Amino acid sequence: MSAATLLTPATSAESDGRPAGLVARADERSYIRVLVVLDTTIIILALLIGYVTRFGDDEPTGSEVPYVLVAPGLVLAWLISLKALGCYDDRVIGYGADEYRRVSSASLRLAGAIAIVGYIADVGVSRGFLGITFAVGTVGLEVARFAARKRLHRARSLGAGWSRKVLVVGDTAHVLELVHTLRREPYAGYQVVGACIPDALLAPVAQRLGDVPVVGSFRGIPEAATAIGADTVAVTASGELTATRLRRLGWQLEGTGVDLVVAPALTDVAGPRIHTRPVAGLPLIHVEAPEFRGARKLVKGLVDRSASSLALALLLPLIAFVALAIKLDSRGPVLFRQVRVGRGGQEFDVFKFRTMVVNADAMLAELTTRNETDGLMFKMRRDPRVTRVGRVLRKWSLDELPQLVNVLLGQMSLVGPRPPLPSEVARYDGDVARRLLVKPGMTGLWQVSGRSDLSWEDGIRLDLYYVENWSLAADLTILWKTVGAVLNGRGAY
């Protein structure tokens, strides 16, 4: 069965005579042009800020360097550096932290190269001018990339914006699993438009896997990709896709504008833990074990305690104001203490500002049937036990400020899994219990991914992903995203 038999003429036709994979890249090239314009604008502004800050309205004295020529040269060199380090590579832009790392690396490497050349050649360019320019420019480039990405993510979530059109190839079960994984985060930019399955699974009539059309078998993958306008072929597990057939598929896709990606049978493993090493001509994937102790853990603990003590000192006026508001709003203590389970199953008292009436636990039995979440947690959007001040505190996550004391005491971390109740832990199976291998956190992936709007399964998946793949860089990213999640208020009740 050919791909064309499962497609309408409108979807199988090529557009303006070019391969469909190349046509699908038009939005991508437009987005890259926007990035180039943004980067150029930021670099020019950084140069102006550096010049005005260093020299003000006065002309540089004691220097024969024509800054009117230095500025264009520096703009060009900076853009070349960004291009050379792959900052416009479609494989890294729009998703993941690699884009930000490359932008910072390109800027810092250029700054280092200029400093070395300037020292050797004894060029009299002001070091203050260069320092200010590169500091402002590097931060500005990162902020601009972040803003552009957020706009792209919003467009992708609405079904618009630049996304890769993906043809998934593999056995039925693995195709469905990969489709589910890609659709779980639509802002990543992988839109599944069709599937190819083994010959033995094809039916004499048009098939669909869920809502994904089956557009052919393994014999006509390039033709199927062209027919549906796919610019990416994602290959997942299948007994029929041998190494030889996969290699030939790569040859067949050469020059078509269609990328070939292979989805290994590894899920929820972050890139830094994966290393590809060629052995006897085979690209073997090595997966490093998660790190639960060692120097990085000591540094994380030091950062947690230092940051929590500083935050407590800075937020003391706000903490006092919130305590007064709680006291005036309803009778009962200001703080709420509850037993939670930490690393290694150790129980501790977590501190929170009280957001419910004093007999909230006694009322829980009457509300059990109105639980709005699955799994082991109880959540209600309009919980009658929550006080007026409590609703405000929960919306802005101010009720969790006292947990800074738990972090200072070493019972919690700034970033980590949600601290569970003993009753929840008692029903954990072997997989879920891995959440207890690290300290619970004030915030985490669950906080920046929807909070109470998440299902139990998704919350556990995110917690386990963090446990397996934590890093200091990821912690900083989550802390930054927490600010946006709190201001957004989504899932807070």
pLDDT reading at 369 higher than 60: no
Confidence of residue 95 (pLDDT cuts 50, 70, 90): confident
Same domain as 262, residue 331:
no
Residue range 280-302: average pLDDT? 81
| pLDDT at residue 157, rounded to an integer | 83
> What share of the chain in percent tops pLDDT 90?
42
Name, in order, each residue with C-beta under 8 angstroms of 442's C-beta and a sequence gap of 6 or more: 400, 403, 404, 407, 412, 413, 414, 415, 416
10 occurs within a structural domain: no
- Residue 305 vs residue 474, higher pLDDT: 305
pLDDT of 111 strictly over 90: yes
pLDDT band for position 370 (cuts 50, 70, 90): low
Least confident window among 97-106, 163-172, 191-200, 480-489:
480-489
Residue owning tokens 């940051």: 307
289 belongs to a structural domain:
no
Q: How confident is the model at residue 87 (pLDDT cuts 50, 70, 90)?
A: very high
Q: Are residues 148 and 186 in the same domain?
A: no
274 inside domain: no
Categorize the per-residue pLDDT at 12 as very low, low, confident or very high, splitting at 50, 70 and 90.
very low
* pLDDT at 55 (0 to 100): 79
Q: How confident is the model at residue 21 (pLDDT cuts 50, 70, 90)?
A: very low
* 101 plus 216 within the same structural domain: no
Q: Does 123 or 439 have the greater pLDDT score?
A: 439
* Mean pLDDT, residues 346-375: 75
Residue at a domain's end among 158, 190, 214:
158
Q: Which of 16-20, 157-161, 211-215, 239-243 has the highest mean pLDDT?
A: 211-215
Q: What is the mean pLDDT of residues 142-163?
A: 88
User: What percent of the chain has pLDDT above 70?
Assistant: 85
The domain in which residue 45 lies consists of 20-158
Query: Do residues 366 and 472 share a domain?
Result: yes
98 HSE (CA, 13 A, CB side): 15
260 found inside a domain: yes
Please tell me whether residues 109 and 205 are part of one structural domain: no
HEC-encoded secondary structure of the chain? CCHHHHCCHHHHCCCCCCCHHHHCCHHHHHHHHHHHHHHHHHHHHHHHHHHHHHHCCCCCCCCCCCHHHHHHHHHHHHHHHHHHCCCCCCCCCCCCCHHHHHHHHHHHHHHHHHHHHHHHHCCCCCHHHHHHHHHHHHHHHHHHHHHHHHHHHHHHHCCCCCCEEEEEECCHHHHHHHHHHHHHCHHHCEEEEEEECCHHHCCCCCCEECCEEEEECHHHHHHHHHHHCCCEEEECCCCCCCHHHHHHHHHHHCCCCCEEEECCCCCCCCHHHEEEEEECCEEEEEECCCCCCCHHHHHHHHHHHHHHHHHHHHCHHHHHHHHHHHHHHCCCCCEEEEEEECHHHCEEEEEEECCECCCHHHHHHHHHHHCCCCCCCCCCCCCCCECHHHHHHHHCCHHHCCHHHHHHCCCCEEECCCCCCHHHHCCCCCCHHHHHHCCCEEECHHHHCCHHHCCHHHHHHHHHHHHHHCCHHHHHHHHHHHHHHHHHCCCCC
In this structure, the answer to whether residues 91 and 220 fall within a common structural domain is no
Residue 283 lies in a domain: no
Q: Residue 40 domain-assigned?
A: yes
The answer to whether 153 and 168 are in contact (CB under 8 A) is no
Q: Are residues 424 and 474 in the same domain?
A: yes
Q: How far apart are CA 350 and CA 348, in angstroms?
A: 6
Residues 312, 405 within the same domain? yes
For residue 248, being part of any structural domain is answered with: yes
Number of domain units in the chain:
3
Q: Final residue of a domain: which of 109, 134, 158?
A: 158
Indicate the residue among 106, 136, 158 that finishes a domain: 158
Residues 143 and 200 in one domain: no
Residue 386 resides in a domain: yes
Confidence at 14, pLDDT banded by 50, 70, 90: very low
Shared domain for 175 and 307, answered yes or no, is no
Q: Are residues 299 and 430 in the same domain?
A: yes
Neighbours of 221 (CB within 10 A): 25
Residue 24: predicted pLDDT: 46
The tens digit of pLDDT for each residue in 29-84 reads 889 999 999 999 999 999 999 988 887 766 655 555 677 788 899 999 999 999 99
Average pLDDT score over residue span 180-184 = 87
Q: Which of 173-177, 283-287, 419-423, 445-449 has the lowest mean pLDDT?
A: 283-287
- 381 CB contacts (<8 Å, ≥6 apart)? 372, 493
Q: Same domain, yes or no, for 401 and 374?
A: yes
Residue with more model confidence, 158 or 80: 80
Average pLDDT over residues 15-38: 70
Place of tokens 């509850």: 338
